[in-house]
Structure 1
Amino acid sequence: MKLSEKKILKKKEEILLSAITIVNRKGYDGATMEEIAAELLMTKGSLYYYFKNKGDLMYQCHNLVLSQATKELEVNLNEEGTAEEILRKMVVTHINYAIEEKETFNLIIEPRQMFNEEQIEPVLKLRKHYSSLFDNVIEKGIATGEFHAKEPIIVRMIVLGAMNWIQQWYKPTGRMTKEELEQYFADYIIKLLK
């Protein structure tokens, strides 16, 4: 890779990280190209050198965050330990992303409303892979006798649905810390599978 290509990739990543911060702070509608450019001391026009439009920028932000979350889940899944121990780590990873990357991560829930036809297929493919990692650990637990579930796919949908809902009500100033909530969620999810 040429030095000029490396510089473009580095600048693009810098823009994405800044945009993710702004989207998580202000929401999708509140994050404007002007504000993202201003945060980076760039002109709005300069952003269009790197991204076609706001939709393209949001797609790439979402893709970056979901890819990072997927890689972390893959690491969790490949660690030594029982299915329960691995699932607990995966719950913590998911909840951390659901809270810390709320707005960007939330684009996973209904991507058809946010992305164009060209972007939908890769988003849905990555999303399917992400959820399959939970299927893998649940199936591992069933195979070892740790978990009991007649419909593992339904259990996974319940688990992800419950964890995604945290975005609707979690407040950092609430009566429980994020770490306490992660523990409670993990405990109840494990009970669901026992």
Structure 2
Amino acid sequence: MAISPNKIRKKKEEIILSAVKIMNEKGHQRATMEEIAAELQMTKGSLYYYFRNKEDLIFRCHELVLEQAIDELREAFHSNVSNEVRLRQMIAIHVKYAVKEKESFNMIIKPDETFSTDHLHPILKKRNEYEGWFDRVILAGIECEDFNINEPKIVRMMLLGALNWIQQWYKKAGDKSLEELQQIYSDYLLKVMK
């Protein structure tokens, strides 16, 4: 008896969510298909019914997390607030994903080190979409004279570069909460925009 497309979709989502959890705990290189299968009480072979290989599963994990982050950026951009508040919200979103979904999210930085050409083009397209929301808010801020900058693309790269560095030093047991870090990052990075 064949499995319905709806059941396959639901099982894939369940596998992806478990894989994201394990990847964030162990790192995407150290996470194994055996561990992912064990988390779901499946056999390793069963995973291959749903995903071609580990790279395919990791790609789907990264894609899911990146799509969630893009959705949140889109929502922040379309909120009825000033461009400064929008950018603060977007910075907070980026910090949240960089910290909470570190392993799944940080592949956005150097996807060519993780993915083959089959997956690279779709990931680069998503990364450009992600960056595009920052470009939009920066350009909207320039147009409304909320931001006083002449090099929007460079400023966006500086912002994202600074935001991405949090993955190198953040510790859950540090002396600042995630919310405090989001505020601190926003306060200092917005000074670049004035």
Q: TM-score, normalised by structure 2?
A: 0.98
Q: Which residue of 2 aligns with 1:54?
A: 54
Corresponding residue number in structure 2 for 1:151:
151
Deviation at 1:52, TM superposition (A): 0.5
* Secondary structure of 1:29 counterpart: coil
Runs of 4+ in 1 over 4 A off after TM superposition: none
Amino acid in the other structure paired with 1:68: Q
SS in structure 1 of the partner of residue 45 of structure 2:
helix
Per-residue deviation, 1:28: 1.2
Task: Choose between structure 1 and 2: higher helix proportion.
Answer: 1
| 1:98 correspondence with 2:98 | yes
Secondary structure class of the residue paired with 1:163: helix
Distance 2:180 2:68 in 1: 23
Secondary structure (helix, strand or coil) at the match of 1:176 reads coil
- Aligned ranges 1:42-191 → 2 under 5 Å: 42-191=42-191
Unmatched 5+ stretches in structure 1: none
Q: Which amino acid aligns with 1:185?
A: Y
Cα shift readout 1:131-167 (whole Å, capped 9, x = no counterpart)? 0100100111111111011101000000000001000
Q: How far apart are the structure 1 equivalents of 2:151 and 2:97?
A: 26
How far does residue 179 in structure 1 lie from its aligned partner after superposition? 0.5
| CA deviation map 1:112-140 (0-9, x unaligned) | 11111111111001100100100100111
Structure-2 separation of matches of 1:48 and 1:113: 23
Percent of pairs identical after alignment? 54
Q: State the match for 1:34 in structure 2.
A: 34
Residue deviations 1:55-74, cap 9 Å, x none? 00000100010011001100
Partners of 2:111 and 2:23 in 1: CA distance = 16
Shift of 1:4: 0.8
Deviation string for 1:26-62 (max 9, x for gaps)? Answer: 0012200000000000000000000000000000100
- In the alignment, the residues of structure 1 paired with residue 169 and residue 79 of structure 2 have an alpha-carbon distance, to the nearest angstrom, of 31
Give the match's secondary structure for 2:108.
Answer: coil
Looking at structure 1, the residues matched to 101 and 120 of structure 2 have their Cα atoms a distance apart, in angstroms, of: 20
Aligned residues: 193
Counterpart of 1:20 in structure 2: which amino acid?
V
